Chain A
């Protein structure tokens, strides 16, 4: 019953966007993409790993795929899943070699390095240099197609993730997130749980990146920006870590970005920065008030 109500809310937002006009149909696509990133980020948080470099999982598969697209369509199609797997493995290795605190630093550094280095990547296509700060062109799907694809994928991903997190495996994930040593002591295969979760998170983020690239028909180094990495953190913070509320807060943040940036370009980034600065205070406030609110309900 609860799931039906949650899906109805997502569908209601989608339908409202559909009937509000072309712009809002396109905007819903973006909202859904960011909601999928937040779901992906939340999964990693469940196993106790706070990723501040989710831009890497989001942008790298689509970026490498777009590079392959400059040569052939086949190369693009093959490179996409390979990069998803490799970025997932990279994050798993990070989680193996570091503790919870160092994982935050390492993921952040990795994504910032990509942000700094990718504008320097150029490749030759038919004697012309492409890439650099401009980025690469990619397949383009009409925004109607993206709208339908994003509605279906968001609902499927949400339902599947909600089921996973409330399943036996979900409890293992939470146990690993709370205490890895204790989880090992009670017989949970910690590495297996971490690997599966990180790979699933990587697939979701990579898929969101693909939708993003298909929507714009282009991808540049901007996908690796700090803003992309901090978006799911902010969305999750404002929702108190609840999966459904984090989808709604992602919708809200994308809408807020549109509104604030139309007042003054870049104003949303100030909002992000302020949320980060006061994140310990906001996190505690949302958690305490949220608990009280849920109790009242």
Chain B
């Protein structure tokens, strides 16, 4: 029971962190993360190689960032495009694997979730506490146009954030696959939970690392209260 709570807390907090990073730095709500999570789970079933999940996630992220940067001019446009991208991945998974559910029975990678989640927390902490990078990130978060005027390469930051968050979520889909029934819609519940958590955290109006710490704390509280109703 306690372990199941811990797993849920980890996956929801990571999803919420990735959503927050996308929204605050790349300036859109990334709805394709559900599709990336599902893709990671399918890789775990058919080709159990974490590096493959990482590379594929990165490629998905690169494809998405190209579309976002080339065609989308507003938050809404980018969000809708990302929804389409996620649905496209889901549909492709339906086409390739018609069966409804898959279960991984011969191995369990869920133990990896603890070091993986702690690594994600540590990386975000490191990036924001490193003087040079942290300052740039906080600058982009608070005012992207001003940051651009002052010479911050915002395009590079946007690309990096989308690619890295996509790769992270795909890897988490891979790690959690052995705990779940694998279907193309597997990531939607976590995505919505993550959005709710980051929306609550946004109401606290904190900046920089404090925001991400509040995301982690709220993930813990909300997982404790609601469990996995989603």
B189 to chain A: which residues have CB within 8 Å? Answer: 116
A sample of 29 cross-chain residue pairs with beta-carbon separation below 8 angstroms, ordered by A number, consists of A52-B83, A101-B76, A104-B79, A105-B195, A105-B199, A108-B31, A108-B83, A109-B195, A112-B192, A113-B230, A117-B229, A117-B230, A226-B83, A226-B87, A233-B80, A266-B94, A269-B87, A269-B94, A270-B88, A273-B84, A273-B85, A273-B90, A276-B84, A276-B87, A277-B67, A280-B71, A280-B72, A280-B77, A281-B71
Beyond the given pairs A109-B192, A116-B188, 4 more chain A to chain B contacts, judged by CB atoms under 8 angstroms and listed by A's residue number, are: A116-B189, A226-B87, A275-B84, A276-B81
Q: Is A272 part of the contact surface with B, judged by Cβ < 8 Å? A: yes
Contact of A276 with B80 in the complex, beta carbons under 8 Å:
yes
**What is the 8 Å Cβ interface bit string for chain B, positions 65-109, against chain A (1 contact, 0 not)?**
001000111111101110111011011101100000000000000
Q: Which of B71, B87, B188, B195 is close to A273, meaning CB atoms less than 8 Å apart?
A: B87
Interface size class of A (residues with CB under 8 A): 20 to 34
A266 to chain B: which residues have CB within 8 Å? Answer: 91, 94-95
The complex places the Cα of A281 from the Cα of B81 at a distance, in Å, of: 10
Q: Is A160 part of the contact surface with B, judged by Cβ < 8 Å? A: no
Contact of A270 with B196 in the complex, beta carbons under 8 Å:
no
6 closest cross-chain pairs (CB), A and B: A276-B84, A277-B84, A273-B88, A273-B87, A280-B77, A280-B71
Given the contacts A105-B79, A276-B83, A277-B88, A116 and B192 also touching, CB distance less than 8 Å: yes
A280 to chain B: which residues have CB within 8 Å? Answer: 71-73, 77, 80-81
B83 to chain A: which residues have CB within 8 Å? Answer: 52, 108, 226, 230, 276
B230 to chain A: which residues have CB within 8 Å? Answer: 113, 116-117
Q: Is A100 part of the contact surface with B, judged by Cβ < 8 Å? A: yes
Contact of B75 with A101 in the complex, beta carbons under 8 Å:
yes
A113 to chain B: which residues have CB within 8 Å? Answer: 192, 230
> Contact residues of A with B, CB < 8 Å?
50, 52, 100-101, 104-105, 108-109, 112-113, 115-117, 226, 230, 233, 264, 266, 269-270, 272-281
Chain B's closest residue to A102 (CB) is B199
Contact of A264 with B95 in the complex, beta carbons under 8 Å:
yes
Chain A's closest residue to B29 (CB) is A105
- Secondary structure of the A contact surface, majority rule: helix
Contact of A272 with B81 in the complex, beta carbons under 8 Å:
no
Chain B's closest residue to A120 (CB) is B229
The complex places the Cα of A112 from the Cα of B196 at a distance, in Å, of: 12
Chain B's closest residue to A237 (CB) is B80
The complex places the Cα of A269 from the Cα of B75 at a distance, in Å, of: 23
Given the contacts A109-B196, A117-B229, A279 and B77 also touching, CB distance less than 8 Å: yes
Contact of A274 with B192 in the complex, beta carbons under 8 Å:
no
Contact of A274 with B75 in the complex, beta carbons under 8 Å:
no
Chain B's closest residue to A100 (CB) is B76
Of listed A52, A101, A233, A276, residue having the most chain B CB within 10 A? A276
**What is the 8 Å Cβ interface bit string for chain B, positions 180-210, against chain A (1 contact, 0 not)?**
0000000011001001100100000000000
